[in-house]
């Protein structure tokens, strides 16, 4: 079968790899219907050292169960399923608490002999815990929105939930990438009173307005902070959803937070330290968030997609075949595409 | 009258100052019955640059209302009152939200022409908002415990509350100073299942056990982290209450937190940055806490002191007269005293 491998910065290839087979009785084999490219795939794409051997890549996919091990009880051949971007047993104490990203028996896709998601098929470890059945057919028009349940939508949702967004909350969302837009959608869903989206790409911020942003701030750095403060009577917002991951973004986040407010971050940090000294201490600012336990949110987010109320799949603005995946990476890296859908 | 002034590092003097008078119609004059020395008073005592003019110091006191301005409606001459360590109007939006430390019309004691608390009397701005009436007489034996409501007890309580401590929570408290011990007491009050106190001064950790600590870890740094992890099956604790304020303490805090856990800090940070990079992100750690809005907690904490259930005043292990205040600073700075009570 065909799958995507990364060999180094800028070097993503689609190659023949062995068909996946069941290795553990808790495995399932899933034929991929849709996958996509994540903003976090761009970090290795920008910086990975070149290697002779490629490594499977991709961690967002949905597909059809083709086979299941003897200990898999909740799935059968033909089920349409979505996989969260971390696999987990969903039974350990961390999973039961909704922190499947810290599962005692879980792990990452495309690492330690586990397949990546950007291919024709995937061996899924801990299939009963990892996969969530979707009540749709293989040709459903909802597949793009359902695929967002794998990562980008729960990630935006995790950001809004951990920031404590609810009715009456004022929110700043930093970043108009796919995660930022999902954070807007999620803040709206949770009842935020006002949602200020910081982003400079009009096509994206327009979609952000559709998803619920009430204001857009295009400036960055000090000017951006000043603009948000102007919009909020000098105070900043209760919640700040940091969806970028750079040092500038997290600095901006603290600067636009209201005293007593919460900054939540879901952009993978490209920094080791954050500025939380005496000033932030005296203002009682909280920093929360982290890698999103997507699995914990899927059941809750699913109904509004199934009934058409919410369309998170609108973040996909380009569709490629498996052979075209390298073009998809280039397009996202060049910001020519917001988020690329893959149809193997 | 006599009051304490600081002139520089190690240079605290008790001198004659003018008697306080009402300046604003919202002021009150309070004759001080009890004051005390705070761990945070030791920061200027260790490091303040020498100046020709001294500055009033002290921010924890209780006393008797001697006079009140025309717009003070809730207090009358003779009322015994306690003052939180930040004065506030208690009516603005921040105050109504319980964040009186960010009051729009409040401020600090001993700054910008406002008296310090370590003296015979104090002019109290925003008296209606700031002062809380205590249903006791001037000679009550409860005065030491009631004085802790000014700062150290609500500060420990703020740490436990913002960390989300409740029934079933496992907790590490870093620091066996007065604030750390109040954090232990507060975690216990909130129903914590297990409270590991990190501290090396046996007299203090013994008091910590009385207040509710279930385990004591005397080691610091990597050894201390290792010991806490041993006690918790390798996982760390749900909540970590950081009551020191040094870089080492905050590093230890992240290292002993369980995945998904919360570090709350109430020790004034002696650092500008905290290590919250990819590792802490992937573990979904939260950093919260800050300067405690003591005013917000006083009514809630008062009854258990009045009925004798809790005795936070046990943190005072030395009592001095006003003239002996410089000795009190020395004793606390040398760690010969845990917390010094002042009887003017």
Task: Give the minimum alpha-carbon distance from A337 to chain B in angstroms, rounded to a whole number.
Answer: 26
Q: Which of residues 238-267 of A touch B (CB under 8 A)?
A: 259-260, 265
Looking at every residue in chain A, the average pLDDT score rounds to 97
Q: Nearest-CA residue of chain B relative to A86?
A: B282
Question: Any CB–CB contact under 8 A between B334 and chain A?
Answer: no
Q: Does the distance separating the beta carbons of B284 and A287 come in below 8 Å?
A: no
Q: Does the distance separating the beta carbons of B276 and A290 come in below 8 Å?
A: no
Instruction: Output the pLDDT for position B288.
Output: 98
Q: Averaged in consecutive runs of 10 residues, what is the pLDDT profile of chain B (344 residues)?
A: 98 98 98 97 95 97 98 97 98 98 97 96 98 98 98 98 98 98 98 98 97 98 98 98 97 98 96 97 98 98 98 98 98 96 97
Question: Any CB–CB contact under 8 A between B96 and chain A?
Answer: no
Task: Give the minimum alpha-carbon distance from B262 to chain A in angstroms, rounded to a whole number.
Answer: 9
d(CA B234, CA B327): 44
Which residues in chain B have their CB less than 8 angstroms from residue A275's CB?
Answer: 272-273
Question: Any CB–CB contact under 8 A between B109 and chain A?
Answer: no
Contacts of A307 (CB under 8 A, 6+ apart): none
| Domain A2-151+293-343 sits in CATH 3.40.50.10420 | no
Q: Does the distance separating the beta carbons of A269 and B277 come in below 8 Å?
A: yes
Which residues in chain B have their CB less than 8 angstroms from residue A268's CB?
Answer: 278, 281
Q: Does the distance separating the beta carbons of A268 and B281 come in below 8 Å?
A: yes
Give the tens place of pLDDT for each residue, A276-296. Answer: 999 999 999 999 999 999 999
Q: Nearest-CA residue of chain A relative to B278?
A: A269
The partner residue sitting opposite B283, judged by closest CB among A102, A275, A283, is A102
Task: Give the minimum alpha-carbon distance from A213 to chain B in angstroms, rounded to a whole number.
Answer: 25
Give the tens place of pLDDT for each residue, A86-109. Answer: 999 999 999 999 999 999 999 999
Q: Which of residues 214-243 of B touch A (CB under 8 A)?
A: none
The partner residue sitting opposite A269, judged by closest CB among B101, B260, B278, is B278
Instruction: Output the pLDDT for position A258.
Output: 98
The CATH number given to B156-289 is 3.40.50.720
d(CA A341, CA B253): 41
- On whether the CB atoms of residues B214 and B225 are closer than 8 A, the answer is no
SS3 B316: coil
Q: Which of residues 288-327 of A touch B (CB under 8 A)?
A: 288-291, 293
d(CA B183, CA B179): 6
Task: Give the minimum alpha-carbon distance from B261 to chain A in angstroms, rounded to a whole number.
Answer: 10
SS3 B67: strand
Instruction: Output the pLDDT for position B322.
Output: 98
Which residues in chain A have their CB less than 8 angstroms from residue B260's CB?
Answer: 94, 97, 99, 102
Domain ranges (residues) in chain A: 2-151+293-343, 155-289
Interface test with A, best of B95, B244, B257, B276 (most A CBs within 10 A): B276
Which residues in chain B have their CB less than 8 angstroms from residue A265's CB?
Answer: 281
Going by pLDDT thresholds of 50, 70 and 90, the confidence category of residue A128 is very high
Q: Does the distance separating the beta carbons of B271 and A273 come in below 8 Å?
A: no
CATH of A155-289, one of 2.120.10.70, 3.40.50.720, 3.40.50.10860, 1.10.420.10: 3.40.50.720
The partner residue sitting opposite A284, judged by closest CB among B101, B269, B286, is B101
Instruction: Output the pLDDT for position B171.
Output: 98
Which residues in chain A have their CB less than 8 angstroms from residue B296's CB?
Answer: none
d(CA B76, CA B92): 23
Give the tens place of pLDDT for each residue, A59-74. Answer: 999 999 999 999 999 9
Q: Which residue has the tokens 């349940």?
A: A149
The partner residue sitting opposite A274, judged by closest CB among B94, B97, B274, is B274
């Amino acid at each position: 079968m065909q799958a995507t491998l990364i060999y180094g910065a800028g070097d993503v290839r689609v190659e023949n790899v062995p068909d996946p087979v069941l290795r553990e009785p808790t495995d399932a084999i899933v034929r991929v219907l849709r996958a996509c490219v994540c903003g976090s795939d761009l970090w290795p794409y920008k910086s990975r050292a070149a290697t002779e051997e490629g490594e499977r890549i991709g961690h967002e996919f949905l597909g059809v169960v083709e086979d299941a091990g003897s200990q898999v009880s909740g799935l059968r051949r033909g089920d349409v399923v979505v996989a969260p971007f971390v696999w987990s047993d969903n039974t350990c104490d961390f999973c039961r608490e909704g922190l499947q990203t810290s599962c005692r028996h879980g792990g990452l896709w495309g690492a330690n002999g586990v397949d990546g998601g950007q291919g024709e098929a995937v061996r899924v470890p801990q299939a009963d815990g990892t996969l969530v059945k979707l009540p749709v057919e293989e040709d459903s028009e909802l597949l793009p929105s359902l695929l967002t349940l794998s990562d980008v939508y729960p990630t935006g949702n995790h950001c809004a939930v951990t920031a404590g967004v609810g009715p009456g909350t004022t929110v700043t969302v930093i970043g108009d990438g796919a995660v930022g837009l999902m954070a807007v959608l999620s803040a709206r869903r949770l009842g935020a009173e006002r949602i200020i989206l910081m982003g400079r790409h009009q096509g994206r911020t327009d979609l952000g307005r559709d998803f619920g942003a009430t204001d857009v701030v295009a400036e960055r750095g000090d000017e951006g902070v000043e603009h948000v403060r102007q919009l909020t009577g000098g105070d900043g917002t209760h919640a700040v959803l940091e969806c970028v991951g750079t040092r500038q973004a997290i600095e901006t986040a603290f600067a636009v937070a209201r005293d007593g407010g919460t900054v939540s971050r879901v952009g993978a940090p490209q920094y080791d330290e954050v500025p939380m000294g005496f000033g932030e201490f005296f203002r009682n600012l909280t920093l929360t968030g982290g890698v999103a336990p997507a699995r914990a949110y899927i059941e809750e987010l699913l109904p509004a997609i199934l009934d058409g109320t919410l369309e998170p799949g609108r973040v996909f603005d380009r569709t490629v075949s498996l052979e075209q995946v390298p073009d998809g990476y280039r397009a996202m890296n060049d910001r020519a595409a917001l988020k690329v859908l893959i149809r193997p």
